[in-house]
Structure 1
Amino acid sequence: MSILWHITCLLLLRSCTPGFSMHDGIVGGRVSIPHSRPYMVYIRDKISQLTCGGFLIREDYVMTAAHCKQSHLVVFVGVHDTNFLPDGIEVDPIPHPKFSMKRPDHDIMLLKLKTPVPLSKFVQTIIYQNPENEEISQDCMVVGWGWQDYHDESPSNVLQEANVTLIDSENCGMADTLCTEGSTGPARGDSGGPLVCGGVAEGIVSFSKTKSNADHLSAYTRISLYYSWTQSIINPPTQQQSETWKGKLDKLI
């Protein structure tokens, strides 16, 4: 299990070495209308050149997969074509404390931007699921710059998206994941990108595998199960207490 998990994780990472040709990504996908998904974030390690996707949840935080953690990560916002990248922003990675490359659970990470980004027409946050609203639309979408084929090296330079449908959780195999299956979905290089259902980020692209019947199963970390942890990072208790007292003082004044 641990070896299989390590392999499938790496399959969703992408090595961006100089010289290979760029094609359309996301298996069975279509080119996104430029800047129509302004929450999307392109993530790359300055040394290894491994890349992942992510999504902006606040001006100073990006959500992605924990297995995308590298030592020198830089994020790029407002990107459509990776041939034309803006200045990168350095980050402090905060993977879930229970995540391990030996297992596929707890595959969630927050990246704290060292320089918060100003929101604009091309850079926006996306709402992510909380446990108070567990109703999830079955019709979803995945977005990323990954491969256009599950087995051939064909990453995309332009943002791609594809429609996918959730399957019953009992057929998913992991308690903290959502799953889709079929010939369309995320591939290598799409790790960390969002599973968007009804305009809400419900999952994080985590891992994939080929089933015995040759169907391709894609698994996504279920964000709502980590809502409390996420809030504890982006709104630590000391900050919450300070904001509460400020509100009371404003009323007194």
Structure 2
Amino acid sequence: MSIRWHITCLLLLRSCTPGFSTHDGIVGGKVSAPHSRPYMVYIRDKFTKQSCGGFLVREDFVMTAAHCIQSNLMVYLGAGDTKHLPAGVDVDPIPYPGFNMKRKGHDIMLLKLKTPANLNKIVSTIALPKPENEKISKDCMVMGWGWQNYDQESPSDVLKEANVTLIDSENCGTADTLCTQGSAGPAQGDSGGPLVCGGVAQGIVSFYNTKTKPYLTVYTHISHYFSWIHDHMKPTQQQYET
């Protein structure tokens, strides 16, 4: 099980190696209208060039998957075409302490921006779920710069999106996950992007199970990590109050 988890995590990462074809992204998706998803963040390691998606949740914090952690991450806010990226921002990664690359679960990470974002029409935040146990819309959307095909190296230059539908939790996995199943959805390179339901970021793209047909995509359920998120997103002065 631990080996399978490690492999499926890696399936949703991608290396921007020269020579990759650069056509479409999200499987079964369409190109997003320019700047229509201003919360989307392109994340890439400065040296390995491995990349993920993420989303801006406050002017100084990006949320993504913990398995996207690298030593020299940069975030690109308001990114559209990855061939023409804006200036990158250095970050301090804060992975959830219970995450382990060899096991399932707890696949969530905050990235603290060393230079807070200037919010505008191109760069903006997305809402997180409310603390109450509210009902989640089953009609959702995923976005990313990943591959067009699950088995074909075709990362996208431009942001793409696809509609997905939540399945019942009993057919999903652990309590801290949400799942979708179908022919459209995230592929390699889309890790860390948001599962957006009703305009709210309800989940984080984690991995997909290649044993099922159509593929089952698993997302970290954000609402299960409210306490941890709140503790790390307090204003700086509050972190030192007793």
TM-score when normalising by structure 1? 0.92
Aligned to 2:187: 187
The answer (yes or no) to whether the contact 1:130–1:227 under 8 Å persists in 2 is no
Give 1:236 shift: 6.1
- Does the Cα contact within 8 Å between 1:41 and 1:77 map onto a contact in 2? yes
RMSD over equivalenced CA pairs, Å: 1.3
In the aligned structure 1, how far is the partner of 2:181 from the partner of 2:29? 14
- 1:70-81 map, 5 Å: 70-81=70-81
1:220 paired residue number: 219
Matched, 1:23 2:23: yes
Amino acid at match of 1:223: I
Structure 1 residue 131 displacement after superposition: 2.8
Mapped to 1, the partners of 2:39 and 2:73 lie a distance apart of: 18
Please state how far the C-alpha of 1:18 moved relative to its aligned partner: 1.6
The answer on 1:164 being equivalent to 2:159 is no
Q: Paired residue for 2:203?
A: 203
C-alpha contact 1:92 1:113 (8 A) present in aligned 2: yes
Q: Give the structure 2 partner of residue 249 of structure 1.
A: none
Which has the higher Rg, Structure 1 or Structure 2?
1
- The answer as to whether partners of 1:131 and 1:225 remain within 8 angstroms in 2 is no
Aligned position for 1:123: 123
Shift of 1:173: 1.7
CA distance in 1, matches of 2:158, 2:108: 25
Separation in 2, partners of 1:112, 1:131? 22
Q: Contact 2:12/2:187 (CA < 8 Å) preserved in 1?
A: yes
Q: Partner amino acid for 1:35? A: H
Verify: 1:61 aligned to 2:61, yes or no.
Answer: yes
Q: Does 1:93 align with 2:93?
A: yes
User: Whose helix fraction is larger, Structure 1's or Structure 2's?
Assistant: 1
Asked if structure 2 preserves the Cα contact closer than 8 Å seen for 1:130 and 1:223, the reply is: no
Deviations along 1:64-119, whole A, 9 cap, x unmatched? Answer: 00000000000000011101101100000000000000112000000000000100
State the AA in 2 paired with 1:232: D
Match in the other structure for 1:5: 5
How far apart in 2 are the matches of 1:146 and 1:71? 21
2:132 pairs with 1:132: yes
User: 1:111 matched to which residue of 2?
Assistant: 111
Q: Distance in 1 between matches of 2:236 and 2:167?
A: 37
| Alpha-carbon distance in 1 for matches of 2:240, 2:45 | 36
Look up the SS of the partner of 2:86 in the other structure: coil
Distance (Å, rounded) in 2 between the aligned partners of 1:167 and 1:192: 20
CA apart distance, 1:239: 1.1
Match of 1:251 in 2: none
Moved more, 197-206 or 124-133: 124-133
- Kept in 1: contact 2:21–2:153 (CA 8 A): no
What is the TM-score normalised by the length of structure 2?
0.97
Runs of 4+ aligned structure 1 residues displaced above 4 Å come to: none
Distance across 2 between alignment mates of 1:70 and 1:237: 24
Identical aligned pairs, as a percentage?
71
Q: SS of the residue aligned with 2:147?
A: coil
Q: Cα distance, 1:134 vs. partner?
A: 2.3
Structure 2 residues without counterparts, runs of 5 or longer: none
The answer (yes or no) to whether the contact 2:40–2:54 under 8 Å persists in 1 is yes
User: How many angstroms does 1:133 deviate by?
Assistant: 4.2
Between the aligned partners of 1:139 and 1:71, the Cα distance in structure 2 is: 36
